[in-house]
A = this chain, B = another copy of it.
Amino acid sequence: MDSASPIETPEAPTQRRAGGRLGRKAVRSAPIASFPTLVRNIPVYEIVPGEAVELIHEESLKILEEVGCEFRDDEAIAMWKAAGADVRDTRVHIDRALLMDLVSKIPSEFTLNARNPEKTVKVGGRNSIFIPMYGAPYIRDLDGNRRYGTLEDLNNFHKLAYMAPALHSSSSIICEPMEIAVPKRHLHIIHSALTHSDKPFMGIVTSKDRAEDTMAMAGIVFGEDYVKDNTVVVSITNCNSPLVWDATMLDAMKVYARHNQPLILAPFALCGASTPASAVGAVAQVNAEALAGLAFTQLIRPGSPQIYGQFMVTVDMKTGAPMGGTPEAAQMMYLMGALARKYNLPWRTSGFHVGSKLNDAQAGYESNMLMHAAILAGANYIWHSAGWLEAGLTCGYSKFATDCEQLVGWYKYAGGLPFDDFKDAMAAIREVGPQGHFLGTQHTLDHFERAFFMPSIMDYNAFEQWSAEGAKDHDTRGREKARAMLADYVAPKMDEGISEGLRDFIARREEKLPDVVS
């Protein structure tokens, strides 16, 4: 019964319905609000008893001991040999003592620094953050059409991420700027994230050099010395399930872990295809894969912060296509959360990821299914929390705006139920008495906004009013909201020297990089 609700922190202009020109003006002059780290004030949901979690853990250990895990990189193999693992060719059998010793070196919490110190957050324990999606080649635009993403779209999504109070990061490759040559693309992605927003961001992992470029650009913005000791960027490395960590991922791991920057060790599991057709079995496998990756990061740099990761979807039996918010995806999330707590690790899951092509009923349904589970499972790094459509192939403007707004509600949900005004509420009941009403009372006027989440893209008007306003569906209202937000965007400040430094760096690197992948 904590008295303070985290929602009392600065309120976002996007939370209110900015009606007409006057409303728009008011928003324009207001500072862009952002919520601090979400400090969870509700219990976690444990879907199975502790002994079931132990059973899964035990089976994961056996997999790594008996089956082993592939590490397809000479340097990695040498490191495992030096650490005393049983290595046969590229197959590493890791005994439980070595594995758990390495995993235990990972801090349970870390600070993730933003270029604007006010946007710096904590990850781990009761601290959770929301991060937009990542990696879409397509976008669904402000007119509702699906097409390739461009740099302008990417800039827009970073603007929206900056303006969304409950998003704690700008991600980076929200969509791919497809018009930019692949070898040079990463420079513009990182530049977009770092300049259009001042929140934490995410790194590039597609090659060693690109990872190094990410760190160099972070160094320009944060200071070269600063990034040696301080966590400024989170990057994703996916296990190639089942049980393969490939060279590209291991390269990225080595760059970032050596820089003391956290990786998400996240098998991208298509349950039933890359795991057994069993929720519990899939979790045991994914856990083994994550633990193997986490342990390896501690061979690179002991004590470096890392994130226990998870991305598990079931696949459509007929097509093999990934599904979105199914019951099993939620159930598996609870299991992963329980395992993360057992290992005392910060953990990542995905919030609003869906299979739907449109921001329609399917998308709404799938989104809530997974975010609901992520929140109750106690996830710390809640990724794909804005924009995600079509199994990640598309980022939608309408979906992005919808997700940003709903995150404010989830922030409130996880902040728990405030009891501090309970006595006042009881006094209001006495004052109003039977058959009275509370809408006009002083208690209501004083407490309403804090008490109840009021989304603006959702429509609760009477049918007649809604019809008079054009009978718009949610998707249409979401696009309008995104458009309105973009019209209100004012860029965060950046020192001109830093801006120039970034531009110079990009120019110098572009000179050396080819226009096509060799």
- Which residues of A are in contact with B by a Cβ distance under 8 Å? 1, 17, 42-43, 45-49, 51-52, 55, 59, 62-63, 66-70, 91, 146, 240, 242-244, 271-282, 284-285, 314-328, 330-331, 335, 355-369, 372-373, 376, 390-391, 393-394, 398-399, 402, 406, 409-410, 412-413, 416-419, 421-422, 424-426, 428-430, 432-439, 441, 443-444, 447-449, 451-455, 457-463, 465-466, 471, 473-475, 478
Chain B, Cβ-Cβ closest to A317: B448
A435–B276 contact, CB under 8 A?
no
A281–B367 contact, CB under 8 A?
no
7 nearest A-B residue pairs (beta carbon): A281-B425, A364-B364, A364-B365, A368-B368, A327-B413, A361-B364, A278-B425
Q: How far is the CB of A469 from chain B (nearest CB, A)?
A: 11
Bound-state CA distance A217–B41 (Å) is: 51
A240–B435 contact, CB under 8 A?
yes
Copies in the assembly, this chain: 2
Q: How far is the CB of A313 from chain B (nearest CB, A)?
A: 9
13 pairs of residues in contact across A and B, judged by CB atoms under 8 Å:
A43-B47, A70-B435, A274-B437, A284-B429, A326-B452, A327-B409, A327-B453, A328-B451, A361-B363, A361-B478, A364-B364, A366-B458, A367-B368
Bound-state CA distance A430–B243 (Å) is: 11
Bound-state CA distance A409–B452 (Å) is: 29
A434–B367 contact, CB under 8 A?
no
A281–B421 contact, CB under 8 A?
yes
Q: How far is the CB of A387 from chain B (nearest CB, A)?
A: 13
Bound-state CA distance A454–B364 (Å) is: 17
Bound-state CA distance A344–B359 (Å) is: 42
Bound-state CA distance A449–B317 (Å) is: 8
**Contact of A474 with B361 at beta-carbon distance under 8 Å, contacts A272-B451, A435-B242, A459-B356 already known:** yes
A327–B70 contact, CB under 8 A?
no
Bound-state CA distance A42–B243 (Å) is: 30
Residues of B within 8 A of A47 (CB): 42-43, 416-417
Q: How far is the CB of A452 from chain B (nearest CB, A)?
A: 4
Bound-state CA distance A284–B326 (Å) is: 34
A242–B452 contact, CB under 8 A?
no
A242–B369 contact, CB under 8 A?
no
Bound-state CA distance A6–B459 (Å) is: 37
Residues of B within 8 A of A435 (CB): 70, 240, 242-244
Q: How far is the CB of A319 from chain B (nearest CB, A)?
A: 6
Q: Chain A interface secondary structure, helix, strand, loop or mixed?
A: mixed
A473–B429 contact, CB under 8 A?
no
Residues of B within 8 A of A448 (CB): 272, 277, 317
A368–B325 contact, CB under 8 A?
yes
Bound-state CA distance A474–B366 (Å) is: 12
Bound-state CA distance A271–B327 (Å) is: 30
Bound-state CA distance A463–B358 (Å) is: 11
A459–B278 contact, CB under 8 A?
no
Residues of B within 8 A of A320 (CB): 439
Bound-state CA distance A68–B434 (Å) is: 8
B424–A278 contact, CB under 8 A?
yes
Bound-state CA distance A461–B324 (Å) is: 12
Bound-state CA distance A359–B363 (Å) is: 11
B434–A242 contact, CB under 8 A?
yes
Task: Find the residue from A328, A449, A465 having the highest chain B CB count within 10 A.
Answer: A328
A438–B275 contact, CB under 8 A?
yes
Task: Find the residue from A273, A327, A433 having the highest chain B CB count within 10 A.
Answer: A327
A328–B453 contact, CB under 8 A?
yes
Residues of B within 8 A of A365 (CB): 364-365, 367-368, 402, 406, 458
Q: How far is the CB of A73 from chain B (nearest CB, A)?
A: 14
A276–B438 contact, CB under 8 A?
yes
Residues of B within 8 A of A466 (CB): 357
A280–B434 contact, CB under 8 A?
no
Bound-state CA distance A409–B430 (Å) is: 43
Bound-state CA distance A426–B402 (Å) is: 40
**Contact of A273 with B361 at beta-carbon distance under 8 Å, contacts A279-B417, A430-B67, A449-B317 already known:** no
Residues of B within 8 A of A323 (CB): 452, 458, 460
Q: How far is the CB of A308 from chain B (nearest CB, A)?
A: 20
A52–B1 contact, CB under 8 A?
yes
A447–B277 contact, CB under 8 A?
yes
Q: How far is the CB of A45 from chain B (nearest CB, A)?
A: 5
Chain B, Cβ-Cβ closest to A368: B368
Bound-state CA distance A327–B453 (Å) is: 7
Chain B, Cβ-Cβ closest to A47: B42
**Contact of A393 with B1 at beta-carbon distance under 8 Å, contacts A59-B426, A435-B240 already known:** no
Chain B, Cβ-Cβ closest to A411: B327
Bound-state CA distance A103–B460 (Å) is: 37
Task: Find the residue from A324, A416, A425 having the highest chain B CB count within 10 A.
Answer: A425
